Every structure is written in structure tokens, then in C-alpha cells.
Structure 1
Amino acid sequence: MKIIKVLSNNAIVVENLQEETLVALGRGIGFGKKPGDAADPALFEAQYLEKNDDVTNSWRQLFSNIPDEIIQTSRKIVSNIERTFAIASQLSLILALSDHIYYAITRASKNQLIRNPLAWDIQIFYPEEYGMAKEAIDLINRSMSVTLPQEEAGFIALHIVNCRHSGNMHDTMHSANLIKDILNIIKLYLRIELNENSLSFQRIVTHLKFFSMRMMNNSPFSLDDASLYVDIKEKLPTSYRCTEKIEGWLNSNHNYTMSLDEKMFLTIHIERLRTPA
């Protein structure tokens, strides 16, 4: 492999035999090197296929501002995430996490805690990602001798959600807020307390995750079978009226009209919440 750019002592941009451009990480792989020198893949601890020049520019900015130990810690966290969720190598996640961790440590050193208003909701809606984020906080605190609060787990969990679902932070937070608001409408309309540990609650949260994605992509789900909808409306009138309340709110606040099928499936999930087995 040939070195194209040296980003730091521990990071280089290389070209492989297939003429693909990679970002490689490894202890000392860039020390004393210059463009055109040969690179030894055996020394690479991780390598990521580079899609465009923006990635290289992002890496250059990252290494000029953020200590290498933070980037190495981020790489370990991302490796754990990739292994746990069986996803492909994520260069963008290392960039995002390194940047977040750096500023989180900076804030913590100044006792400037940023409150995450969605911390509880993220923990409930995305338990796997939140659990992984808590492990990441423990790793950061151990390896870097710092004390980041567990509050940061919510923010890191959002990055993991983005990675798993190929989204962005804005869409992820919008989705979490949307789920939270719909559940609040259900709770207030039916005058019930929601049991976050129940199977019916987990089912409706999963349903609302996918519903929110379809809604943001403006791709409503439809089976084009109105006969199914009529039966649901007649047999589950209370839950159906709750769905109508949600539909009206979505239309007024998000300019979104639910399809008949979306109303049908949401009504079924609301009924399970209303009449748990």
C-alpha cells in the first residue's frame, strides 16, 4: 500500500492495490512517514474505506484539534458497537464520537453539564443502544481517567441509533420526540399509566419507531384493503377514537395524514395497551 496523506503519527490515508482510498489507524503508523512511502497493513489496527474528500478533510480537522487518545478510545467503542450489532465498519461514527467525547470532557472539566431532555425516553425507546452507550461511558472514564456523568449516555446512544439506522441526529431526535408525544396523547386520552416493562408497550414503541421513519420520509404504509379497517373501527371504538386524536394532532402539528392501514395498526397497538392480557 502507498501512503497518500499523513494525518498524524497514528493515522494515514493510503491507496491499496485495487486503487481504493482508505483511512488507516494504528500506533505509530504515520511517524516519520511522508506521501509516497509504503505502508505496512500488518500494523493497521483498523482501516476504513474513504468515500470522498470530505472524509479526509474531516479527519485532518479532527487530528488537529482532538487528542489521539480520544480517537483511539472512540475506535474501541465503535469496534464494540460493530461487533455487538453486526454492522459494517463506521468511519463516520468514529468522527462523531471523537468530537462528542472531546467536548464532553471539556465541559465536564468546567462543570458545565448539558442536560439531555430525552435521556429517559432514549433509555426506554432504545434500550440496546443505551446499554451500549453506558458501557462506552465506563470505558471512557476508565481509559482516560475522567468522570463523565451517565447523562452523557443518552447523547452517545443517539449516535449509535444514527449508525444502526443510517439516519442523522436531527431525524433521530425528531423521532424520539414524536414517539414521546404520541405516547403522552395515548396516556392522557385513555387516562392510564404506561408500563414500560410490558410487552404491549415494547410493541407499540417498535411500531412507532418505524412509523416515525416512514412519516419523516413521507412514505405512508398502505395495503389498499379498506375492509380490514372497517372491522377494527367497529370492534375497538375507544382505541380508534384515540387514534383519531393522534391523527388530528399529527395533521395540525406535522402536516401528516395517516393512511387507513397506519390508523388500523396503531389502533390495535393502543387496544393492547388499554386492555393488557
Structure 2
Amino acid sequence: MRISRIYNNNVALAMNHSGVETVVIGRGLAFGKRKGDLLDPTKVEQTFVPEQSTSDERLTWSLSEIPSEILALATELEASVRENSDISLSHSFIIPLADHLNFAIIRAREGIDADYPLTLEVNQLYPQEVEFGKKAIALVEERLGVTLADAEAIPLALHLVNSQLTTADMSTTFRMTEIFSQIFDVISSAYEQKIDQSSMSVVRFITHLRYLFVRSQQGKYPLQQDPTTPAIFEAVKTSYPQAFSCAKKVRLLLEMQLDQELTDDELTYLTIHIARLAKDLTLDS
């Protein structure tokens, strides 16, 4: 690989054999080198392809300021998610993850505590992502000898949630999380019982809501009505009256938040998911 740009002695941008610019990380790999020089492949410890949406200024600042060992750690964590889980990532989150880890480590060393909003909601809605956050904390302590607060698992989890969406904007993830929490509040109120967030029905419902949110982002709503909907819609409405009534409230909430009308197809899906939740609660839906 030939060097395109040097950020520091341990991090550089290089052109790989396929003609793709790749960030390379390794102790001393760029020391004494210049643009256009060949890299010693034995010194390359980690590589990743930066997002095209990341500006040159942002990339330069991050790669210059974030220690190479933290960049390598973030690269390893992302690779672990891609290889060892069923989570589908829409974009890389190495830079924002490394950026967060860097500041979290600085805060930990200076004894500064951080208070994160939506802690309860994130724990309830994204258990798999929270486990990732805990793994990241453990890896930081193992590799770098720095103990991060348990609360850091929350923003780390949200970085992983965000990487599954089509946008890299974290505000979208916060908004989506708040909406999901409101939806479960509506359902809990309708059935006068707290929802078990760990149930498989909740996991499936959240997955459905995420895809709905992504489709909304992509401008794919309202969907074209399925011609078989009227019969299915009436059958579901008749079979699950309480779930249907609750689903109408959830649809209204979603329409207000997404600023889009949802079809009766979506109301049917919402009713079925809510009916499954009700069955988990052993309630008559």
C-alpha cells in the first residue's frame, strides 16, 4: 500500500491494491515516511475504510487527535459486531465510537462523571446493544487499564443503534428511542400492566418499528395499500378488539411524530404485534 496522507506516526491514509483509500493503524508505521511512500505491511495492525459521508476536516481532526490504540480498539469492536452477531450495520461507526471512547477515557482519568438521558429506555429497548456497550467497557479496561463507569454502556449502545440506521446523525437515534418509549407507555396504559421488555414479542415489535422508522427516513411511506388488506384488516380488527383500539393510538402517535400518514396495512401489523404482547401478559386482547 502507498501512503496518501499521514495523520501521525501511527495512523495514515493509504491506497490499497483495489484502489480504495483505507485508514491504516500500527505502531510507528508512518514514522519517517512521506506521502507516496510504500508502507511496511508487517506494521499494519488494523485497517478500515472511512465513510464517504465523513468530511475531510472531520476525518483529519479525529485521526490526528484520537490515540491509535483507541482507534484500533474501536475497529476491533466494530469487526466483532459484524462477524459475531446478527446485527446489520448500515454504516461504520468506528470514528464516532473511537471519539466517544477517547473522551470517556479522558473523563475517567480526570474523575469526571457523566449523566446520560434515556438510560432506562435504552436498557429496556436495546438489550443486545447494551451488552455491546458493556463489552466495550471491559475491553477498555483489559487493553488500556482504564475503568469506565458502567453508565458509559448507554451512549456506546446508542452508537451501535445509530449505525443500524441509514443516517449517521445521532439525534435521529435519540428521537427514535423516545418515540419507542412513548409507544410502550401507550400500550402499558391500555392494558394497565407494565410490558416485559425482555420478551421475544417486544424484540420483534421493536425490530418492526425500526424498519418502519428507516422506511420513513427514506421517504417510502405511505406504502401502497395491499388489495387483500380489507379482508385481513377486518379479521384482525374483529379478532383483537382491544389490541386494535390500542394500535389506533399508536398509529396516531407515529403519524404525529413522523409527520406521515400510515396505511391500514401498518395498522394491521401494529395490531398483531400488540396482540402478541397482550398474549405475553396473559391478558384477553
TM class, shorter-length: 0.7 to 0.9
Q: Summarize deviations over 1:32-68 as a string: whole Å, max 9, x none.
A: 1111222123332222335659555434312432333
Q: Distance in 2 between matches of 1:53 and 1:195?
A: 38
Instruction: Please report the TM-score for the alignment, with normalisation by the length of structure 2.
Output: 0.85
The whole-number CA distance in structure 2 between the counterparts of 1:90 and 1:183 is: 26
| Residue of structure 1 aligned with 2:260, choices 256, 261, 265 | 256
Identity of aligned residues (%): 27
Q: 1:77 to 1:196 in 2, by over 3 A?
A: same
Q: Partner residue of 1:105?
A: 105
CA–CA distance in structure 1, aligned partners of residues 53 and 171 of structure 2? 24
**Distance across 2 between alignment mates of 1:35 and 1:90:** 32
What is residue 161 of structure 2 aligned with on the other side?
161
Runs ≥4 residues deviating over 4 A: 50-56, 86-92
SS in 1 for 2:93: helix
Q: Shift of the alpha carbon at 1:223?
A: 2.4
How high is the TM-score relative to the length of structure 1? 0.87
5+ residue gaps, structure 2, are none
Between the aligned partners of 1:2 and 1:86, the Cα distance in structure 2 is: 35
| Alignment correspondent of 2:207 | 206
Q: CA offset at residue 209 of structure 1?
A: 2.3
Deviations 1:11-44 (A, max 9, x none): 1222234433222112211011111222123332
Count of aligned residue pairs for this structure pair:
277
Residues 44-123 of structure 1 correspond to what in structure 2 (within 5 A)? 44-50=44-50, 54=54, 56-85=56-85, 92-123=92-123
Segment drifting more, 261-270 vs 230-239: 230-239
After TM superposition, list the pairs within 5 Å mapping 1:1-277 onto structure 2.
1-50=1-50, 54=54, 56-85=56-85, 92-168=92-168, 169-220=170-221, 221=223, 222-224=225-227, 225-276=229-280
Q: Residue 156 of structure 1 aligns to which amino acid in structure 2?
A: L
Gaps of 5+ in 1: none
Q: Give secondary structure in 2 for the equivalent of 1:14.
A: strand
The code of the aligned residue for 1:227 comes to A
- Structure 1 residues 59-118: Cα deviation after superposition (integer angstroms, max 9, x where no partner): 431243233332232233223223223789999422111211122223334443332222
Q: Which moved more, 1:170-179 or 1:25-34?
A: 170-179
Q: How big is the shift at 1:274? A: 2.1
Contact 1:175 1:212 (8 Å CA) reproduced: yes
